[in-house]
Structure 1
């Protein structure tokens, strides 16, 4: 699947989301026309690593799209527009200012919210504005609280006839769809029921994503880890429960640690798997030690204070960027599913550059929405109303562009070298 073309579109058979003209005519909601040429896509955080990467992919895959880069820095905006070409422009937007958002969303068909970090955000300002302006929406949220708050707008989005996906990036996002496909295939091919689902993630350094991902990581250290064990919610210490996981070709074995990530709860509730957990690890190895030390030594109140964490990130940033140049930015996701009849299957996704792969993944969700895969409402990626079951393969093919290793529904031995897991503490 990794070699499939990004131009593998289903636009001939799917009903894409509305264009701006249809929005104006729709009355109670968005009308879905037969095609989405020249759709206007607003990328919030478009001058950053994630948003910028997303905009670049969208401009290459769909040159007809009119891409609006939104941010606070006009100089960076001008630089991004120069990369994208004449079918793009920059607009200055403050996502905390309702009037600024409303002005930016006027005559826009889809907004891609990549202006993180999402941790400690008190409101879903962009999603609310998107519903109010009848604009389709996708975000790259990686925070459990924010994702749950976004889901609370489901009925309002349905009433406005607006499709929206939360946690629609690479992880969470593509990893959710991988999990959904493993569960679906297992239920159709196996006599047993899915019992244990585990997400494992590895990123070298910050993956080239810079201060935002560093702030996200630090803020997550202040959150208790929510996992599920045989149907019961349990809470665990962040950056504990180390396992040594084999990520296969191009990555090898890496230590990963428990983190509080939104796909754990959504996969448990949506897919009905009783035991679910997520772990993350980085490189060089001393970054893992540093994260573990921060968890043990810094007060929780400090780690939950967004402003103080941002200050800490600024202090660390020069060192992190220097190490990033040495460590590279490889990224890998491994999703393991175990069933009651002994069936064990794995999905693996590895790429040399997170800064590229995250844009490809986010663009895949944006295209799915534009092509009509998403129903009105606010959905997680693994929900069929978010990404239709028949469209999952297309999304995964698009997201897997440039991967060094991508496989789905394989037994562990087919992707591993000398499988081995070492657990500390509660094993979920």
Structure 2
């Protein structure tokens, strides 16, 4: 029988990239939803439906007729756990592109319920978090005793991901957050403590700053011997970093702590990147460095990736998880982050299929 995939938020740029990836690597029938009906059906191999996520009965009906639910309807800062709860009730596997601390915490709390129902729910599966987390796992596995993780990202312009990513960025500036440093939790302010990190070409040395990502607390959980986890983010061109720093540290807090302010800043930023994307590109680069003990010596191992389109790369991350679930190659009942759920051999296999080159080397 034909397998069926339901993608919430599948008309957005990341959702569409996920749909395209699943279509390329599986034979599944794909249904994508958006908030509004399409007046004229686009030429597409996907079925398009209008869906308001508050329409619980309609949502339940669509989920019950699917084999996998892929949740791409962000920003996840605003989302509750109702979609995952319905999946658990219906016994349907779940994947998402969530990228916010609060949402990650809420869905992880449903682990036991999912495990009891035999539902595999894998969260944070895009590019960062997502592919980045699996790169960390690759590095960690090189050591007898991993000790420190430094994970950095840089995105060019809008990343090709639309205004939703702008909203996510400004939402991430709202509050100080907890990070795991030297074996204890410390509080840091977003977009502070700039570092210059060497990324693959064409990005080279770029500035990155503390940024509130789920990895700040999921990686210490996944790798409990690790003493420090640093997660930093930056933009290209560099003037966007300075504008974001001003928004985080100079603007009145009320500007980024209410929905109207976030929306205004997001729309202005999106307008600016519409122009700058023409010369900056819309790519992404990731650098994962792990320090630890190997054969009695303290060493460093690095993993890097660069892709010309951030949205497409996010589609690879999420689409590959859906592919493995559909093929029954990945089964892990409960709610898990991708670094906990995805074995490195399967990660390497799916990235190879997508011609994603990940460079790995000892420093």
TM-score relative to the length of structure 2? 0.93
Q: Give the match's secondary structure for 1:222.
A: coil
Question: What is the CA–CA distance in structure 2 between the aligned matches of 1:391 and 1:320, rounded to whole Å?
Answer: 35
Question: What is the CA–CA distance in structure 1 between the aligned matches of 2:134 and 2:128, rounded to whole Å?
Answer: 10
Match of 2:139 in 1: 182
TM-score relative to the length of structure 1? 0.80
1:284, distance to aligned residue in structure 2 (A)? 1.3
Tell whether the 8 Å contact from 1:93 to 1:104 is kept in structure 2 after alignment. no
Per-residue deviation, residues 44-98 of structure 1 (Å, max 9, x unmatched): 1110000001101111122x2100011123328933xx23x2xx31121112331
Q: Give the match's secondary structure for 2:233.
A: strand
Q: Taking structure 1 as reference, are residues 76 and 315 closer, same or farther at Cα in structure 2, changes over 3 Å only?
A: farther
1:73 equivalent among 13, 36, 40: 36
2:8 equivalent among 41, 44, 50: 44
1:120, distance to aligned residue in structure 2 (A)? 3.8
Question: What is the CA–CA distance in structure 2 between the aligned matches of 1:225 and 1:241, rounded to whole Å?
Answer: 14
1:301, distance to aligned residue in structure 2 (A)? 4.2
Ranges in structure 2 where 5+ consecutive residues have no aligned partner = none
Tell whether the 8 Å contact from 1:374 to 1:387 is kept in structure 2 after alignment. no
The reply on whether 1:371 has 2:327 as its aligned counterpart is yes
Tell whether the 8 Å contact from 2:254 to 2:261 is kept in structure 1 after alignment. no
Q: Give the match's secondary structure for 2:14.
A: helix
Ranges in structure 1 where 5+ consecutive residues have no aligned partner = 1-36, 188-192, 413-428
Question: What is the CA–CA distance in structure 2 between the aligned matches of 1:103 and 1:180, rounded to whole Å?
Answer: 37
1:351 equivalent among 294, 298, 307: 307
Higher strand share: 2
Question: What is the CA–CA distance in structure 2 between the aligned matches of 1:214 and 1:133, rounded to whole Å?
Answer: 34
Per-residue deviation, residues 271-319 of structure 1 (Å, max 9, x unmatched): 1211001000101111101000001123334423235312432344322
Question: What is the CA–CA distance in structure 1 between the aligned matches of 2:211 and 2:63, rounded to whole Å?
Answer: 34
Question: What is the CA–CA distance in structure 2 between the aligned matches of 1:357 and 1:228, rounded to whole Å?
Answer: 28
Match of 1:119 in 2: 77
Question: What is the CA–CA distance in structure 1 between the aligned matches of 2:332 and 2:40, rounded to whole Å?
Answer: 32
Q: Give the match's secondary structure for 1:317.
A: helix
Q: Taking structure 1 as reference, are residues 218 and 338 closer, same or farther at Cα in structure 2, changes over 3 Å only?
A: same
1:337 equivalent among 277, 285, 290: 290
Q: Taking structure 1 as reference, are residues 175 and 316 closer, same or farther at Cα in structure 2, changes over 3 Å only?
A: closer
The reply on whether 1:59 has 2:23 as its aligned counterpart is yes
When the two chains are superposed, the root-mean-square deviation of aligned CA atoms in Å is: 1.8
1:390, distance to aligned residue in structure 2 (A)? 4.4
